């Protein structure tokens, strides 16, 4: 289920850009700043420095298990 996987990138403030959290449904191998952060808030020369500050994590969950637990509680 595509809603059960995501990549979450937390990017702190950089120069005059505020911090932001980005989520996108991508494969585990594409879980990085370049694939998840859209639109890129900084111009070309600053992309590498901006992305190095971002922390990206691949997350999986079972929505069926979550729904069952909610019903039982």
Kindly list the domain boundaries of the chain, sorted by start residue.
5-60
Which tens digit of pLDDT belongs to each residue from 5-58?
A: 899 999 999 999 999 999 999 999 999 999 999 999 999 999 999 999 999 999
Q: Give the per-residue pLDDT at 40.
A: 96
Q: Where are the beta strands (DSSP E) in 1-73?
A: 5-11, 20-24, 55-60
User: In this structure, what are the phi and psi dihedrals at residue 66, rounded to the nearest 5 degrees?
Assistant: -60, -45
* Top-confidence residue, 63 or 18: 18
Q: Give the per-residue pLDDT at 66.
A: 65
**Residue 4 pLDDT grade (very low, low, confident, very high; cuts 50, 70, 90):** confident
**Residue 60 pLDDT grade (very low, low, confident, very high; cuts 50, 70, 90):** confident
């Amino acid at each position: 289920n595509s809603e059960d996987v995501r990549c979450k990138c937390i990017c702190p403030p950089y120069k005059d850009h505020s911090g932001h959290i980005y989520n996108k449904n991508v494969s585990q191998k594409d879980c990085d700043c370049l694939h998840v952060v859209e639109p890129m808030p900084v111009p070309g020369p600053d992309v590498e420095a901006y992305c190095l500050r971002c922390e990206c994590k691949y997350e999986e969950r079972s929505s069926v298990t979550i729904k069952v637990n909610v019903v039982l509680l």
